[in-house]
Structure 1
């Protein structure tokens, strides 16, 4: 009999299982498929080993960096190239994102780089709305920004940024999940713009995200190897459809797989097309490290990452070629052809030589409402993003051990 059974071998399941095993507990991890990591995966495109899912993590909280340090990967943490991301607005050419913003929310709605995106009328309306006294803070980020800065600020600027970071529309994203200190900062500052200015000033210097030399996917085998080294029992290809299947031999059960403890709500499909191209004009990184795309823009992609401009290690591995990643909320009829056309439109550069391309997709699970007696980790309860998933899994392990 195990002290703990973990159902699901995504990053959340691996982190909680490893932490419990490190305490000396006996832990069995069950994964239905033949591989671990969930959407954190690897593939080869043009002979280059690349991330097939997440390619960075938020540095806030320091949880992911601390975990990588424990796994002996501290020296492999890398920062992206400096410089702003870009935005493809509904009309016109791409522009750099406003410099003094948080999730696209500007500290100064009347700043030139904000006006360039939303227009002068919308910027002036935002300044007037945000000058009103603060009564309360709505539950969702969209409602907060709409009330304090207007619809155009949400639709034209905040929505594409939030979608790129959280894969959710701000109208669906809880304020606390978007930024845990935002609600209190709005109340204390007396305005949304003032809250953004305070939070940005309090943030540590440097990039908000980091990566791993060789790809984020390296985290998965490192976690699995350390779990097994600490005595963990890893069982691939073992499906657990309901918790009763484990019986009394499972000990305390931690669910890290959608739908095991409660019916899974329909998730959202996300498609990723990766292109390896030859084009010297991209050496100058004409759109920095990539673009976010406003809804209604004349391309199907919702975001583009110029990965070889973003990561020095990848630029070296690509040996003069360029890696471009495009993500989609709606699957194109011909994903590769659509990605090439969208990349040319967004980058403003023709791509006549496509060395190789790959199309993958995954289902992003909806938030789950699990019974109170069930211990759950992973994206369904912690939200998207490695920082949140790792932090939640570590807290869950600590709570279980404290019992």
Structure 2
């Protein structure tokens, strides 16, 4: 008889199951589909093995790196190529993102690279608002930025960055999930920009994200292999509709398991493998985020071979470009090629191969008191938050 049954074989389910099994518990994982990992997935495009979902993780807290070290992957953790990401404003040419910011929130609203994005009047408005006394910190990041820096700063700079990182508008993102220390820093320092300055100074030097040589998707088989080595039982094609049926303590790691799922958001990803020597110079750095109202439908573009040295070497002179969409184009590949040409300001006459996938990002959910839940519905998007929450949940269960 299993001590624990985990319903859902995404990263959260695998992490919590592995931690429980490592402590000697008997664990069974039930995955409804024929594969593990959820949105951390792999596909082959143009003969290259690529991430079909997440391709990096936040290094804040070190929780993902610690897990990778336990799995023997520490030597394959890689930092992205140094260099700025860019922003495609609603009008005008693309510009580099401000250098000193947190999720697009500037440490100095009047800095030249901020003014270049939002305009002088919006920058001056942000500085004036942030000089006002601090009251109660709003619950969402959008409300906080709107209150302290103004609507134009939110719409023109912060919203595209947050959308690119968290796949949602700042009005939907709790301040605590955006950064666990932000609210306290705002109150302590007395301004939003001052809080950003403090948090950035306290952050370790180096890139805010990292990847895995060969793709983040390597995390999934490493977790599964280690779980099975520790005696865990993984069952694919095993849908659970009744949470009372599995043995032992049940942990829900799949959105909507045992109950109707809350409406989620569909995100489409188009990956292009192209030949174009002009992209060798990385004309838009590692990629762009796109502001609302821009003359393209993509919401973000990643120049993956400019971002990851290991992939540049594997691509052998070709380039990999990833574009994400909130609304599915009628012809995703054609739309991606046209948008990539517009965003990169480079013609792409030779498309070697392309792939289109989509993911459903679940909505945040309140957890009934009688359920134990891990995963994106409670931990938010991003591997760092998902892994950290799953590890905490396992520790709490073992402490019982």
- TM-score (ref. length: structure 1): 0.99
Instruction: Give the whole-Å Cα distance in 2 for the aligned partners of 1:80 and 1:389.
Output: 21
Q: CA deviation at 1:368?
A: 1.4
Report how far residue 261 of structure 1 moved: 4.1
Match in the other structure for 1:398? 395
* Match among 349, 360, 368 for residue 346 of structure 2: 349
Q: Deviations over 1:295-347 (max 9, x none)?
A: 10000000000000000000010000000000000000000000000000000
**Aligned to 1:245, what secondary structure does the other structure show?**
coil
Q: How does 1:254-333 map to 2 (within 5 A)?
A: 254-333=251-330
Q: 1:254, 1:377 within 8 Å by CA — same for their partners in 2?
A: yes
Secondary structure of the residue aligned to 2:363 is coil
Between the aligned partners of 1:287 and 1:260, the Cα distance in structure 2 is 41
Does residue 374 in structure 1 map to residue 371 in structure 2?
A: yes
Tell me, in whole angstroms, the C-alpha distance in 1 between the residues paired with 2:99 and 2:106: 8
Query: Is contact 2:56–2:212 with CA below 8 Å preserved after alignment?
Result: yes
8 Å CA contact 1:261–1:371 kept in 2: the answer is no
**Deviation of 1:244 (Å):** 2.1
Q: Which runs of 4+ in 1 moved over 2 A?
A: none
Contact map agreement 1:21 1:227 (CA 8 A) in 2: yes
In structure 1, stretches of 5+ residues that fail to align are none
C-alpha distance in 1 between matches for 2:26 and 2:133: 55
Partner of 2:64: 64
Deviations 1:349-392 (A, max 9, x none): 00000000000001000011221121110111110000000000
Deviations 1:47-102 (A, max 9, x none): 00000000000000100000000000000000000011100000011000001100
Note if contact 1:265-1:365 (Cα within 8 Å) is conserved in structure 2.
yes
Contact 2:240 2:258 in 1 (8 A): no
**Number of corresponding residues:** 400
Distance of 1:393 and 1:242 partners within structure 2? 22
| Separation in 2, partners of 1:309, 1:207 | 15
Cα deviations across residues 99-157 of structure 1 (Å, max 9, x unaligned)? 11000000110000000011000100100000001011000000000000100000000
**2:145 match:** 145
| 2:132 aligned partner | 132
Q: 5+ unaligned residues in a row in structure 2: which ranges?
A: none
Indicate conservation of the 8 Å contact 1:261/1:374, yes or no. no
Measure, in 2, the Cα distance between the counterparts of 1:259 and 1:343.
Answer: 35
- The 1-side partners of 2:163 and 2:96 are apart by 17
For residue 332 of structure 2, what is the aligned residue in structure 1? 335
The answer to whether the aligner puts 1:26 opposite 2:23 as a matched pair is no
**For 1:210-266, what per-residue CA distance to the aligned partner results, in whole angstroms no more than 9, with x for missing partners?**
0000000000000000000000011111100120232xxx10000001112443111
Report the Cα distance in structure 2 between the residues aligned to 1:328 and 1:393, rounded to whole angstroms: 28
Alpha-carbon distance between aligned partners in 2 of 1:186 and 1:262, rounded to the nearest angstrom: 39
CA-based RMSD of the aligned residues comes to 0.6
